[in-house]
Amino acid sequence: MGQAKVRVGVIGAAGFIGSGHLHRLATAVDGAYPTAVYDVKRERLEPHAERYGVKIFDSADELIASEDVDAVLIASWDATHAAFTKQCIEAGKPVFCEKPLATTLEDCQSIVEAEKRAGKPLVQVGFMRRFDPDYRKIKEILRSGELGAPLMAHCISRTPKIASGFTDSMQVTNIAIHEIDVMRWLLDEPIVKGQMIYGRPTGFAEEGLHDPQLALMWSKSGCLIDVECAANSYYGYEIQCEIVCEKGTIRLPDPPAPIVRSRLLCATEVMDDWSERFPKAYQAELQHWIDVIRGLRTEYGPGSEDGYAACAVADAMIRSQATGLPEQVTGCGQ
């Protein structure tokens, strides 16, 4: 595509992350600008059209096919990702798909196959933690070997309140999926076994939802990873990660915030939602995607194979919710 600016269409542009990505594309990503938006909530797109000068489409099909759209960003709800991604591949257009790539292994597989048929990489998945400077530093330290082999990892993913309709399997496909991907990437090896364990449910969870849950994963070399997944933590949004190695540990820092001392109290604010937690990563993942499309970098970030591998791990963990036992990861080259 050379150096021309990339014209991007955003599906799900009225949502939280869709509108954030739209804003970044319009204001902060070099070499790109948004031209088109679509969302089932059409009325919520009017302010975007006015602000960013984008055209509102009446369907995803029309947006993907539009001659004014070189590349597509998918930020609609999880279950819609697979079909839209395949449509983009079939149209030969680069596609940035928010995580998860798909909610079933079959759909992930069909995306990988469609991309192979297209004969060139077209997909980047929104596993943005790979672009976060702190996670990157952790990877650098692990890679250097200075702390010896990683033995265990303790992670936390807490969201204060979740939308109605959130299910047990979404604890895996929507929440733990980030840790599944980032741990595969940090440890540079496959996850081979996974399990979800239920804790006592919080009174803030919807009837029938097990919340919180504890995810356990084992890497190929035996590193044991635990992730507390909480969709109704009440008090705030929090992501933690500590990797225990033979000679020391590495811990993701808390986001910088002023420490306030008042009478008999020393405190920092806790975030209310995910949107403020990794701003540099959201920016960097989109810049990377656009740079690849423009030929300024050679490889997309996490691609369809990574989306597939993460889904295979998620699949094992969802199976474990029914069996109550650790389940082997099957179905892909990991």
Q: Please give the residue ranges that form the binding site for ligand NAP (CB under 6 A).
A: 11-12, 14-18, 38-41, 60, 75-78, 80, 98-99, 126, 128, 174, 274
**Residue 127 vs 218, nearer CB to ligand NAP:** 127
Amino acid at 45: L
Q: How far is the CB of 129 from ligand NAP (least distance, A)?
A: 8
Q: How far is the CB of 274 from ligand NAP (least distance, A)?
A: 5
Q: How far is the CB of 103 from ligand NAP (least distance, A)?
A: 9
Q: How far is the CB of 144 from ligand NAP (least distance, A)?
A: 28
Spatial distance between the Cα atoms of 224 and 218, rounded to a whole number of angstroms: 5
**Residue 171 vs 174, nearer CB to ligand NAP:** 174
Spatial distance between the Cα atoms of 151 and 224, rounded to a whole number of angstroms: 7
**Residue 122 vs 177, nearer CB to ligand NAP:** 177
Residue nearest to ligand NAP (CB): 15
**Residue 61 vs 188, nearer CB to ligand NAP:** 61
Contact by Cβ (8 Å): 212, 162: no
**Residue 17 vs 153, nearer CB to ligand NAP:** 17
Cα 66 from chain centre: 27
Q: How far is the CB of 149 from ligand NAP (least distance, A)?
A: 29
**Residue 198 vs 274, nearer CB to ligand NAP:** 274
Q: How far is the CB of 296 from ligand NAP (least distance, A)?
A: 23
